């Protein structure tokens, strides 16, 4: 997911339709979707020779799951990858 708005965060939702199985299997937060965002301290930040790790991949905690929907709030100028993991 790409979010190119500079000044504010935006929310997106994804409907799981009739996928009841993930809601049954995911009984704890450790099983919820893992989101990783590539972001930095400033929306216009960039890596440089002096600061090669200014913009890095970081865990992203702004994912909420309820009633079969995943709602994601992205920070300004974010690139986010969502993955799902199921554990028994």
In a domain, 12, yes or no: yes
Q: CA 49: distance to chain centroid?
A: 28
> What's the domain count of the chain?
1
Domain residues for the domain of 30 are 2-42+55-83
In sequence order, what are the beta bridge partners of 64?
Answer: 71
In a domain, 50, yes or no: no
In angstroms, rounded to a whole number, what is the distance separating the alpha carbons of residues 60 and 72?
10
In sequence order, what are the beta bridge partners of 80?
Answer: 37
In a domain, 16, yes or no: yes
Q: Which has the higher per-residue pLDDT, 42 or 87?
A: 42
**How many helices, marked H, and strands, marked E, lie in the chain?**
1, 7
In a domain, 49, yes or no: no
**pLDDT of amino acid 49:** 92
In a domain, 61, yes or no: yes
Question: What is the reported pTM?
Answer: 0.42
Q: Which of 27-31, 55-59, 76-80 is the most confident on average?
A: 55-59
In angstroms, rounded to a whole number, what is the distance separating the alpha carbons of residues 59 and 56?
10
Q: Which has the higher per-residue pLDDT, 36 or 64?
A: 64
CB atoms within 10 A of CB 14: 15
């Amino acid at each position: 997911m790409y979010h190119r708005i500079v000044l504010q965060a935006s929310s997106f939702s994804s409907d799981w339709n009739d996928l009841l199985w993930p809601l049954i299997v995911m009984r704890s937060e450790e099983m919820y979707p893992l989101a990783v965002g590539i972001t930095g301290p400033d929306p216009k930040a960039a890596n440089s020779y002096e600061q090669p790790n200014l913009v890095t991949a970081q865990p992203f905690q702004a994912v909420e799951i309820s009633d079969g929907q995943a709602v994601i709030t992205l920070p300004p100028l974010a690139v986010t990858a969502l993955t799902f993991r199921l554990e028994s």
